[in-house]
A and B are shown apart, each in its own frame.
Chain A
């Protein structure tokens, strides 16, 4: 791709006690690029996501945003730098409404003294939340409904809508199509395309390989905490991708293949 690298991680490692969940992973993400991150259960995908999103500090390695070295003390710092993450299991606060979830952590306050006293501009956020979701291609029921009243697919749509409408640079989606029907999964893929069109860098984690092959520009394969393959999506077939994930293609976890 011609676009500049917006987000990069070099030689990142992370251990949980004696478990080395990630060893020496390096990754480059360009603006307007969708990377598919795949690997078996326990391969280290979620760990890499947590390093990229500021939820965990890597034991070793460096992170660069727009070419500048950064360290994230907390997810908040990464969020403020424009990196949005949809965690595999964090989800939403089910008792809060759609718009409360959309704006959680970034509320709009009432004008004047009431706002200073901490009062929220609820109506304004409901209207704007609805518009934000429509803009990224998601139509959900009234934004003043509690999330617990939504179907699984709708909830996921809200979670993704939240991430996409807030992201300024990078959006990381950890298994966003899990538990979704075919139609809803199709909509998630559309949202990913919309994010790409906005010029965001997207990291998409999924076990549904047809989705990965359909929507990504590049695929990164993790196995036992190492990146064993990093190549344009066009170089993979469904079979070769499975082989790369399970390791049956090359007997040993080999080095990263050159582009």
Chain B
């Protein structure tokens, strides 16, 4: 009865489909970003030949490890249409609480060695992730129940977390479980393919697959794309967002432990400003701040670009104090590029 005029177009043939897929890949954000990364590496190497070296790569990867975790959480949050400003402060707070627990609850001395140190770090990781999770749940409560917009809700928890970490640590780094043989074996600082970094890569890969292949990931996109349509389709939006902010918080807690292992101490200021790094990685990676758009691979490369630029500039002699300015410029440039791209019709 209805085979007369169809709304449109037939399905494209498989061959054309494949050609389109190849074209899509070549123009895909991540390919473009890899190109940018390569060009940056070449430019810095020309300006400073020592740039192309294992220590530089190791430094970049180490920084990348701490920020990519919160950038991955931020990716879920921003794709869902929100933002999480608390993650940097949570790195500091979770590291401090973990160190405090190791020092005062487990009574570990600074010089603790062997299995006791491993046990301490294991408990520290649980505590650290737990602290992050708790902050994430508080964020979700403020957003879902008190209906505070995510920007303000997470700005408040950011302030509270910063303050609390100073109160608990009395303003100074807390050290514990400091078997330096152990720390340096797992620390990315001394070993580019350290267990800590491998764990980060594992977590990032699993969550990337989860974002793109699972129902949880799909609902995250759906809510960021059109929350009303998501609700009408029967999705429990508030419950989903609770999980999203909990995930972001837990990842910030894990990043807190990563930073603890790097420093060998829990420092209240260790995550300050990291939320900006994460947001920069996310927008450089092509995730739209409006929600609904973005790929995890882009964010992972975006974080690499961010730290390549930072360490490259330092190596060619730019004062480290300019770092935050550079991050801010990169955020603005990435968002401007997204707007232009949209005008181009993509």
Point out residues on A near B: beta carbons under 8 Å. 55, 74-76, 79-80, 85, 87, 89-96, 100-101, 104-107, 109, 117-120, 122, 130, 136-142, 151, 153-154, 157, 183-184, 186-187, 190-191, 193-194, 197
Contact = CB atoms under 8 A, between A and B. Distances in A.
Contacts of A141: 8-9, 11-12
Nearest to A186: B5
B226 A187 contact: no
A117 B210 CA distance: 9
Contacts of A107: 215, 218
A142 B11 contact: yes
Interface stretch (B186-194, B231-239, B333-341): B231-239
A140 B7 contact: yes
B7 A138 contact: yes
Given A95-B292, A187-B7, A193-B1, A120 B229 contact: no
B103 interface: no
A89 B229 CA distance: 9
B6 A96 contact: no
Q: Which of B214, B215, B226, B232 has the most chain A CB within a 10 Å cutoff?
A: B232
B214 A120 contact: yes
A96 B220 CA distance: 11
Dominant SS among interface residues on chain B: loop
Q: Which of A105, A119, A183, A197 has the most chain B CB within a 10 Å cutoff?
A: A105
B225 interface: yes
Nearest to A197: B1
B27 to A, nearest CB: 15
Interface in B10-44: 10-12, 17
Contacts of A118: 210, 214-216
Contacts of B221: 93, 95-96
A153 B213 contact: no
Contacts of B2: 136-138, 187, 190-191, 193-194
A39 B259 CA distance: 64
A92 B7 CA distance: 17
Contact of A142 (B12, B213, B233, B236): B12
B228 interface: yes
Given A95-B221, A105-B233, A140-B7, 8 more contacts: A100-B218, A104-B222, A106-B233, A119-B215, A138-B7, A151-B8, A191-B2, A194-B2
Contact of B230 (A104, A187, A193): A104
A105 B6 contact: no
B233 A95 contact: no
Q: How large is the interface on B (under 10, 10 to 19, 20 to 34, 35 or more residues)?
A: 35 or more
A104 B221 CA distance: 11
A48 B214 CA distance: 36
B112 interface: no
13 contacts: A85-B232, A90-B228, A95-B292, A95-B293, A96-B225, A106-B234, A107-B215, A118-B210, A119-B213, A139-B8, A142-B11, A187-B2, A187-B7
Contacts of B11: 130, 141-142
A34 to B, nearest CB: 15
A137 B215 contact: no
A240 B89 CA distance: 68
A195 B232 CA distance: 20
A136 B231 CA distance: 24
B224 A95 contact: yes
A177 to B, nearest CB: 13
Contact of A138 (B6, B213, B231, B236): B6
B213 A122 contact: yes
Contacts of B1: 137, 190, 193-194, 197
A233 B164 CA distance: 70
B221 to A, nearest CB: 6
A140 B224 CA distance: 24
B344 interface: no
Nearest to A118: B214
A238 B293 CA distance: 47
Given A119-B214, A197-B1, A104 B7 contact: no
Contact of B226 (A93, A119, A137): A93
